[in-house]
Every structure is written in C-alpha cells, then in structure tokens.
Amino acid sequence: MKNSRFQIGISSHLVAKLSVVSFAYLLHFTLGRLLSVAEYGLIGTIITLSNFYYLFLTNGIRQSISNAIAINSFNTKDIIVKGITLQIGFALLLSIVNVFLAPTLSTLLGNEDYAMYYSFISVLIPFTALYFAGTGVLNGLKLFVRESLVTILYPFLRLSAILFILNRPQSKPMGVINGFILGSFITSLITWILIIRSTRKLTLSDLDRPRIKTTKLLKNSFSFIASFGAITIVLNLDTLFLQYIKKDLTLTGLYTGVHTFSLVPYYLVSAFYLVILPYISEYYEKSDKYKIRELLKKTVSIVMLFVFPIVFLISISGGKLLSLFYNPDYFVAGNALAILCMGTFILSIYAIFTVALIGLKENKKAGVCSLVLVVADIIFQFFFTQQSGLIGSASGTFVSSLISCLLIYYFLVVKTGNFIGAKLIYSVLIHLLPFLFLSVLILRVISITNLITLFLVWAGILLPYYLITIKMNKI
C-alpha cells in the first residue's frame, strides 16, 4: 500500500467530514431561529424522511461500485454504466413509492396539508442518488481528494435553503426542500464532470477487461444495505424506544440533544471506512493477508489517536456542552451523552470492521453480525430504558455495539489473523493517557461560561496533542 496515498485519503476525508458536521450544525442552528417551532418540526420530519431514503442510496450500490472498480478485474466503464443504471432505477422506484406514501405519512404525522411537502422529496431523491453513486466511482478510482471536495460541496450548497427561506418567507418548508434540491443537482453535476474527465485517462488494458455481471453488483449492494441498515436502526432506535416506553416528551427532548452530539464520532469515523474499502478489496483479490492486517492495524491506530480524543472531550464535557448549546435544563443529560458518545464510537469501529468483512467477501458473517446488533439493541433498549430512562437508552446502544464489535472483530481475526496486538495497545495507551489526564485537569480548573470558550479550550487541548502526534509519526 502506498502510505502517502492512504494518508492523503484519510486526511482529505477527515477534513470533509468535519466540514459536513459543521455545515449540518450551522444549517440546524439557523433553521431553528428562522422557523417557528411547528415549522422546524415539519422540516425535521422532512429531513428524517430524506435520511431514510438516503440509507438505500448511500449504502449499497455506491459501495458496490467502489468495490468492483478497486479490484481491477472488470471493465471500469462497464461498472460505471451498470452501477449508475441500477442507482437511477432504484432512485426512481423510491421516488414513486414516496409519492404514493406521502398522503398516508402526512395523516400519520398529524397534518394532511403536509402531503405536498413530502411528495416533493421525490424530486430530491434522483439527484441525490446520482451524487452518491458518483462518490462511489471516485472512491473506487482512489481519487480521494476529488471525492472529499464534492463531499464538502454537498452540505455547503444545502445551506442555500436559508436563502430560499429569506426570499420566500410565506413558504418556508418548501424553501428548505428547494435548497436541498438545488444543492443535490449542482453537486451531482460537478461530480459527474469530474468522473468523465477522470475516466478519459483509462488505459486500453482496463477497457479490455471482462464486463461485470449486474447480479454481482446487486449482490454486493444488498450486503451493504443490510449491514448499514442495521447500524442506522441502532443509531435511531434508542430515541424511539425512550418515547415509546416512557411517553415523556421532556425526556425525549433531552435525549434528542444527547443524540445530536453523540453522532460526531460516527461522522468522523466514516472517513476511514470510505477509504479502506477499495484497498481491502484490492488486497483480497491479490490474497495479500499481510497488507490487509497492516491496513486494519493502521486504521484502528489512527481512529484511536485522532477520533477518540474528540469523543473523550465530548464525554467529559457532556453536561456543560448541552447546557451551553441548548439551555441549562439539558445539563442533567450529560452522563447519558458520555455513555452514548462512547457507544456510538464503538459502533463506528464496528462499521469499519463491517466494510472490511464485506470487502473480504464474508457477506454471510457480516449479515450475522448485523442481526446480532439489531436484536441485542432491541433487547437491551427494552430492559435498560424501563429501568434507567436516559441512562438506560444510552447504555443499551453502548452494550449492543460492544458485543457486536467484539463478534465482528473475531470473524476478522479468523479470516486475516490478529491485527490488534499487545504492542499496538501499549503504543496507543502510552500516547493517550497523558492527554486524557491533562484534559480532565484543564476542564476542571478553567471556568467555562459560554460555548465559544468551551470550543476554544477544546482547540487549545487538541491542537498541541495533534501536532505532537503527527511529529511522532503516529498519524
């Protein structure tokens, strides 16, 4: 593996994910001030519904395209044509289903007048599908910088929703949808311009390769959809269980704040599984277990040294972060945020291992792990939430993620050999422990009264740590 190319991929994707998180929070922060509570609630359901459809567009054909291109065994242009045909067909099917479901959804969610807004999501779906398929092509070609650029562009252009709201205040929900459609259209157009320019440089040997079977692309797609569908369920089931069992909107509101910040590690770690997939696929085709182990070892090391410090700061600042971002009433949810953030971090590592296992053609084992993850989460959520409310919901995610992560790690070790040895654990701990101790000490000593101060203190802790880590060639 060319370390420099891998590191460029990781670095560019981390920058992209940080940008995605920043733009997403900026969008919600602004919408919360421009919209009434009812309008914001409507937009929330629109975004949630869009995210449900994105599950099938971001996880499936996208990774299958990347995987097929990376192994260098099939005609790349044929993969792209068949992949995009499948993605468009799937997107059109989802759009049609959404149009028919819109009236029913609007009735179930309390207002039949909202059917028009839900229906317009069908216009958004095809453009978003084109964009996600395009990132799969760029990923498979290992054009990580270009992939990261369009990844940053997409959430940035979605901010155009704010301009639509300001220009058409009489139809704010539609303004948000129009902003999302515009952002998806422009991003997908730029993505495919980049792809067309890149594929012009393909060699004759690539074009002479055999064509891939459509069924092969579909088979891989279903594996990714099933695996990431399970992860998506676990990321959202806790909030639904809490409301179902406790039937307390105040508790659910507190947990919504917890859930928002607990997703940070998942956003960041997704940068890693996006980069390792094409490499895992390539090394598997070459039967190079040593390189697979080294890739997984390096990935785990970087995740622990780069992402875990952020997770730790969020966890030990939980109550303060929530009370400063929302209001003091949220302080009581700080412990739940600490537990859930750690649980989401473990679930994020599980996502990396899932991608690796599918890349190694162990689709059935990945399916078993997905089933264990969902069943365990349902069981633990049911019992823990009844007993402990907020803490119970967070603990259910933590325990189910830990069990599933250990199981999938075992399957990977059986397939490739152990890649997390005592030497790696010792190296990570020796480097992290001083940071963890100083972080707790600094946050206890310094008086923090506003959000800007908290972020500046975090930056003051993280920047020296990252500089030292990079200088020591740890990242």
Same-domain check for residues 113 and 145: yes
Of 212, 235, 250, the last residue of a domain is 212
Residue 359 sits in the same domain as residue 473: yes
- For the chain, the maximum distance between any two Cα atoms, rounded to a whole number of angstroms, is 66
Q: What is the dihedral of CA 289, 292, 297, 298, to 10 degrees?
A: 140
Amino acid 38: pLDDT: 61
Alpha-carbon distance of 266 to 297, in angstroms, equals 19
Whether 267 is covered by a domain: the verdict is: yes
432 lies in some domain: yes
Rounded mean pLDDT of 370-385?
94
Tokens of 131: 């964009």
Verify that 201 and 243 share a domain, yes or no: no
- 405 lies in the same domain as 469: yes
Give helix 76-108 / helix 214-246 axis angle, nearest 10°.
30
- The mean per-residue pLDDT over the stretch 209-218 comes to 84
Reference 276, options 295, 253, 257, 304; nearest CA is 295
Instruction: Encode pLDDT of 158-190 as tens digits.
Output: 899 888 888 877 777 788 888 889 999 999 999
Quick one: 271 and 398 in the same domain? yes
Whether 320 and 425 share a structural domain: yes
Q: Give the mean model confidence (pLDDT) for residues 267-286.
A: 81
Domain that holds residue 5: 1-212
**pLDDT reported for residue 377:** 94
Least confident of 74-88, 164-178, 334-348, 387-401: 164-178
222 lies in some domain: no
Using CA atoms in the order 301, 306, 310, 312, what is the torsion angle rounded to 10 degrees?
30
pLDDT at 113: 64
pLDDT at position 36, please? 66
CA gap 147, 135 in Å, rounded: 6
- The pLDDT of residue 3 is above 60: no
In the prediction, which pLDDT does 8 show? 78
- pLDDT of amino acid 32: 65
Say if residue 20 is in the same domain as residue 63: yes
DSSP letter at 304?
I
| Position 218 in a domain | no
| For residues 436-458, average pLDDT | 92
Indicate whether 217 belongs to any domain.
Answer: no
DSSP one-letter code for 287 = T
State the Cα–Cα distance between residues 204 and 49, nearest whole angstrom: 44
- Angle between helical axes of 76-108 and 172-199 (0-180°, round to 10): 170
Are residues 203 and 243 located together in one domain of the fold?
no
* pLDDT of the residue at 287: 84
Q: What is the pLDDT of residue 281?
A: 79
Structure tokens at 375: 């069943």
Backbone angles phi, psi at 350, to 5 degrees: -55, -40
* Same domain? 281 vs 362: yes
> Which of 181, 212, 243 is the last residue in one of the domains?
212
3-class SS string, 241-280: HHHHHHCCHHHHHHHHHHHHHHCHHHHHHHHHHHHHHHHH
Residue 273 has pLDDT above 80, yes or no: no
280 Cβ neighbours under 8 A, 6+ residues apart: 292, 295, 355, 356, 359, 360
Per-residue tokens: 104: 């029913």
* Termini Cα distance of the chain: 16
Number of domains in the chain: 2
Q: Do 255 and 188 belong to one domain?
A: no
Q: Is the pLDDT of residue 452 over 80?
A: yes
Q: Does residue 310 contact residue 341 with C-beta atoms inside 8 Å?
A: no
pLDDT at 202: 66
370/307 same-domain check? yes
**For residue 418, which phi and psi values (nearest 5 degrees)?**
-70, 135
Q: 124, exposed or middle or buried, with CB in 10 Å at 0-12, 13-18, 19+? A: buried
**23 pLDDT tier (thresholds 50, 70, 90):** confident
Residue 109's pLDDT is 56
Q: Give the residue among 419, 451, 458, 143 at the shortest CA–CA distance from 303.
A: 419
Is the residue at 221 inside a domain? no
Domain finish residue from 212, 245, 267: 212
114 and 239 fall within a common domain: no
Q: What is the pLDDT of residues 440-450, one digit of tens each?
A: 999 999 989 89
pLDDT confidence tier of residue 112, bands split at 50, 70 and 90: low
pLDDT at 293 over 80: yes
What is the average pLDDT score of the chain?
Answer: 85
291 has a pLDDT exceeding 70: yes
Q: Is residue 219 part of a domain?
A: no
pLDDT band (50, 70, 90) for residue 44:
low
Average pLDDT of 378-393? 91
Q: Which residue has the higher pLDDT, 11 or 299?
A: 299
The answer to whether the predicted template modeling score (pTM) of the entire model surpasses 0.75 is: yes
Question: What's the pLDDT at 140?
Answer: 86
